Amino acid sequence: MLVLGIETSCDESSAALVRDGRELVSNVVSSQVDLHRAYGGVVPEIAARAHVETIVPVIKEAIGTVASKPDLVAVTVGPGLVGSLVVGVSAAKGLSWSWGVPLVGINHLEAHAFACALEGNQPEYPYLSLVVSGGHTLLAEVRGVDEMEIVGETLDDALGEAFDKVSRYLGLGYPGGPVIENLAGDGDPGAIRFPRPMISSGDYNFSLSGLKTAVIRYMEKVQREGSVPEARDVAASFQAAALEVVVKKTVRAATERGLGAVVMGGGVACNRALRGWMEEECGAAGLSLHCPSSGLCTDNGAMVAALGYMRYLKGYRSGLKADVSANLRLGEPVPDGT
Ligand code: KG4
Ligand code: ZN
């Protein structure tokens, strides 16, 4: 079965063709990062307009020269930016209707939790999913294609957002994650002891805005005192603090809930320090770590197609009244417009 997956929840327009939920035929991603760079973050109005321009060329390229039309259309219906979601969902409805094939609405966060299936790397259920991106920091127990539960989440800033805000404050540019990671590679993670917020809290939630504030307070203090710290040491110390909280709480959640595997996803899961540290800690705790390659960690249509196929097999269908939901929660039924 050939599935077209469409993703427009934030600042990437993406379309992919996936055969039988596993075999990647194409995965086209058009990133808007250059459009948002000047603003230091995603501007919803600009994002929606850019999707309008790119969605058709992206879908055309994904379909390419495949002779037969897809048998199913899967599309992200939330969570995300409403204006951006509407563009993808409208395109998906048009194609579903004109081709006479079913439409399946997909929760973007759930798609991240299943992306590893595209590389034959999905563990047995149940497993723990960690989604770390610019908009989300979420731990979920995945017991099946339509059975999952939020275990912990950020109470304020997402992990990627913290990287972006610290980068902006330090004048390092956008998106902050890759810049900070590269700079941190040459720095000393022990140079400055930033706080590890909520690392010992009894739950599995996160709070990262205080860490960002601690970096700002530290910089103000040293500047008042007339000293200039090495940016690479600040980057490495911030990264170490942020990642330590996420790694420790993820491993603790998996262990305490009796889950044998951790699946990572989201843009921050591209961070090599996070991958390495998580690999070490999971190994020490006897957990297996499953992390898709970078192109399947960041937002993409392939993960939407993969989960669309699995949900279709379970009997899920969204009619042409399918609706978008900006604040859709993981595990919540997708809106079908009724
Ligand atoms: O998943 P994604 O492409 O888009 C959404 O936010 O949905 O993630 C983008 C986020 C940005 O905050 C970016 O700074 C962060 O992921 N990011 C990274 C790295 N690459 C991207 N954060 C840390 N290290 C990286 N290498
Ligand atoms: Zn995402």
Neighbours of ion ligand 2 (CB under 5 A): 133, 299
CA of 9 to the centre of ligand 2 (A): 8
What ligand 1 atom has the least distance to the C-alpha of 159?
A: 12
pLDDT attached to residue 173? 92
Query: Nearest to residue 189, comparing CAs of 240, 150, 138?
Result: 240
Indicate whether 337 pLDDT > 80.
no
pLDDT attached to residue 65? 79
281 lines ligand 1 (CB under 6 A): no
pTM of the model: 0.96
The whole-chain average pLDDT of the chain stands at 97
- Of all protein residues, the one whose alpha carbon is nearest to atom 26 of ligand 1 is 271
Percent of the chain at pLDDT > 90 equals 96
Per-residue pLDDT band at 319 (split at 50, 70, 90): confident
In sequence order, the 6+-apart residues with CB closer than 8 A to the CB of 239 are 163, 180, 181, 184, 189, 271, 273
- Asked if residues 320 and 101 have their Cβ atoms less than 8 Å apart, the reply is no
CATH architecture group of domain 2-114+296-321: 2-Layer Sandwich (3.30)
Indicate whether 100 pLDDT > 70.
yes
Give the ligand whose atoms come closest to the C-alpha of residue 269: 1
Indicate whether 95 pLDDT > 70.
yes
Max intra-chain CA distance, the chain? 69
Domains of the chain, by residue range, sit at 2-114+296-321, 122-291
2-114+296-321 and 122-291 have identical folds = yes
- Of all protein residues, the one whose alpha carbon is nearest to atom 14 of ligand 1 is 177
**Cβ burial, residue 274 (10 Å; 0-12/13-18/19+):** buried
Q: Coil, strand, or helix at residue 74?
A: strand
At 155-172, the pLDDT tens digits run 999 999 999 999 999 999
CATH of domain 122-291: 3.30.420.40
Per-residue pLDDT band at 338 (split at 50, 70, 90): low
CA of 6 to the centre of ligand 2 (A): 13
pLDDT attached to residue 333? 94
